[in-house]
Amino acid sequence: MDASTIFMFVLVEILLIAGGACALFAPNTMWHIEHFLDVRGGEPTDFYIVMTRIGGGMALVGTVILPFLTWVL
């Protein structure tokens, strides 16, 4: 792999880690980022918070597994 491919891979990993961590540990912040223009004074439902945390955890697990899959394949 050349340097530009490695750089892009690392950049994607950093973005996935940041997004997954934010979704896992701060789902309210993720909701406000998604809906800051279309909702005034609203709050996310409990279902949204749980599903966002699950998605964030899956993103973090995928971020850890992805380098190993590319190494094996």
CA-based nearest residue to 22, from 43, 44, 52, 46: 52
Query: Measured at the alpha carbon of residue 11, what is the angle toward residues 61 and 56, in degrees to the nearest 5?
Result: 30
pLDDT greater than 80 at residue 9? yes
- pLDDT, tens digit, for every residue of 18-42? 989 999 999 998 888 888 777 777 8
Q: Is 39 left (phi over 0), alpha (psi -120 to 50) or beta?
A: beta
Compute the distance between CA of residue 34 and CA of residue 70 in angstroms, rounded to an integer: 31
Output the average pLDDT for the chain.
Answer: 87
pTM for this predicted structure: 0.71
